[in-house]
């Protein structure tokens, strides 16, 4: 099986598994237990993982709050900020993940005002559109760094700079940023969400960066019961998962230093060129340049995506969009926001390249997908 669905999840790195294993067995202490050595050892491991994540995104370890994943981080950032600010307006973008759009819907249901901004045909939101949407009551702007379906890189730094001048905090969902640089100071954001299983770490753990300086970002917690994570997220910390997340963060940094994004980008371009040469009617969805190295989303004219995925599923793992959306078989709201026709959206396929993807695999995927597409056309399956 050739796995090209790395946006949905990534395989846990063997080094991550090795780092976690002792914390499931002989080092089983609760990190909140301060009366014995097992607790102190667990606490030290948690802080080591926290430091590794902080080093990855360029912040203080005290600004890293552990959660169960990016969905919880997004909810804490959005709902927690609105509750703490006491103001009733928030801004986001139409192509955000449901883990952002659904909390915004919850705000609307609670009677608060929200603005959902459109994007252009490449999936980019205009910084000027964000500025124009700001109101005196605006408490938060939430813009993702990398889109999970079309890989578009949003102008987060420009948006954050404009918002900071106006005293409005910015949240960024960076769950899909495994192949791009993440620096919270360079981005200028006040809150940033991460998820371990998107960066070759374990499922069930994530983090929220919460700025503590210049200026301090205030949050109201969503759950109570023990005051863990400086009172922002109560609950016993999963020490093995935190250790794994820390190791995954170190390996992300090492991969960037070794030029891994450049390698993956070249493979992505090879895939697009190969498909375009072998199959007529291949159209790129999303931007050609402002795009994450590991993402390719194309539509193949006259070939229904679900039929294509079924045809290649024994050899290639692909998807037609967000794993969350596939649970309900909804039409992609991201492609709809780009203004694509229903037929083009229904024929879209997402390729998510990863750390273990090879040139030989890409060549085989070109062969398998192009062959399946032509066969489906011959059979008249649309």
Going from N- to C-terminal start, the domains of the chain cover 2-8+259-379, 14-255
Which helix (H) or strand (E) segment holds residue 53: the answer is helix 37-57
Q: Over the stretch 349-369, which tens digit does the pLDDT of each residue have? A: 999 999 999 999 999 999 999
Strands 191-195 and 206-210: antiparallel
CATH of domain 14-255: 3.40.640.10
The one catalytic residue in 59, 163, 172, 324 is: 324
CATH C-level class of 2-8+259-379: alpha beta
CA distances, 164 to each of 90, 114, 167, 174, 339 (Å): 15, 19, 5, 19, 31
Contact 189, 228 (CB under 8 A): no
Whether cis (ω within 30° of 0) applies to the bond prior to 261 is no
Our CA dihedral for 122, 126, 130, 131, rounded to 10 degrees, sits at: 180
Non-local (6+) Cβ contacts of 180 within 8 A are 145, 146, 153, 261, 292, 293
Tens digit of each residue's pLDDT, the chain (382 residues): 999 999 999 999 999 999 999 999 999 999 889 899 999 999 999 999 999 999 999 999 999 999 999 999 999 999 999 999 877 899 999 999 999 999 999 999 999 999 999 999 999 999 999 999 999 999 999 999 999 999 999 999 999 999 999 999 999 999 999 999 999 999 999 999 999 999 999 999 999 999 998 788 889 988 888 878 887 898 999 999 999 999 999 999 999 999 999 999 999 999 999 999 999 999 999 999 999 999 999 999 999 999 999 999 999 999 986 545 444 456 799 999 999 999 999 999 999 999 999 999 999 999 999 999 999 998 875 5
Active site residue 12: no
3-class DSSP state of 256: helix
pLDDT in tens, 20-49: 999 999 999 998 898 999 999 999 999 999
Has this prediction a pTM greater than 0.85? yes
Q: Residue 2, exposed/middle/buried by CB under 10 A (0-12, 13-18, 19+)? A: middle
């Amino acid at each position: 099986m050739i796995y090209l669905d790395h946006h949905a999840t990534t395989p846990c790195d063997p080094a991550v598994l090795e780092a976690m294993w002792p914390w499931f067995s002989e080092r089983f202490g609760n990190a909140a237990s301060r009366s014995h050595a097992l607790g102190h050892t667990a606490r030290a491991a948690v802080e080591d993982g926290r430091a590794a994540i902080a080093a990855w995104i360029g912040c203080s370890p005290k600004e890293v709050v552990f959660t169960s994943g990016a969905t919880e981080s997004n909810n804490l950032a959005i709902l927690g900020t609105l509750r703490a600010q006491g103001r009733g307006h928030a801004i986001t973008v139409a192509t955000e993940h449901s883990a952002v759009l659904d909390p915004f819907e919850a705000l609307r249901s609670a009677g608060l005002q929200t603005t959902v901004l459109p994007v252009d045909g490449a999936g980019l939101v205009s910084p000027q559109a964000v500025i124009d949407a700001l109101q005196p009551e605006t408490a938060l702007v939430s813009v993702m760094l990398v889109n999970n379906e079309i890989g578009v890189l949003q102008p987060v730094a420009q948006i954050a700079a404009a918002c900071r001048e106006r005293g409005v905090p910015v949240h960024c969902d960076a769950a899909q940023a495994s192949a791009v640089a993440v620096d919270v100071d360079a981005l200028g954001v006040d809150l940033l969400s991460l998820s371990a299983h998107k960066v070759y770490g374990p499922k069930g753990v994530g983090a929220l960066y919460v700025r503590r300086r210049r200026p301090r970002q205030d949050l109201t917690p969503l759950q109570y019961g023990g005051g863990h994570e400086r009172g922002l997220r109560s609950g016993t910390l999963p020490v093995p998962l935190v250790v794994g997340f820390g190791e995954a963060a170190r390996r992300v940094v090492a991969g960037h230093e070794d030029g891994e994004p450049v390698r993956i980008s070249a493979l992505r371009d090879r895939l697009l060129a190969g498909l375009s040469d072998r199959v007529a009617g291949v159209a790129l969805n999303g931007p050609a340049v402002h795009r994450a190295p590991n993402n390719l989303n194309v539509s193949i004219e006259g070939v229904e995506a679900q039929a294509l995925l079924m045809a290649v599923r024994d050899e290639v793992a692909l998807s037609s969009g967000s794993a969350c959306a596939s649970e309900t078989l909804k039409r992609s709201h991201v492609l709809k926001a780009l203004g694509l026709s229903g037929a083009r959206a229904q024929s879209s396929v997402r390729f998510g390249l990863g750390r273990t993807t090879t040139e030989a695999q890409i060549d085989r995927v070109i062969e398998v997908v192009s062959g399946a597409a032509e066969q489906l056309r011959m059979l008249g399956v649309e």
